[in-house]
Amino acid sequence: MKETNLTPFGVCYDLTRSPFKSTWGKYTFHFSSVKHKESFDSKLQVRIPWLNDSMSKRFKFEVDVSQIAVFQLYCQVETRGFYVVDEIRGLKWRDRESLTLSGLQANLRESSEKPETTTEG
Residue 23 backbone phi and psi in degrees, to 5: -115, 135
Structural domains of the chain in order of their starting residue, each with its CATH number? 18-98 (3.30.70.3560)
pLDDT for position 76: 98
Instruction: Report the alpha-carbon distance of residue 121 to residue 112 in Å, rounded.
Output: 28
Give the contacts of 100 (CB within 8 A, at least 6 positions apart). Answer: none
pTM over 0.75: yes
pLDDT for position 1: 46
Given a cut of 90, whether residue 26 has pLDDT beyond it is: yes
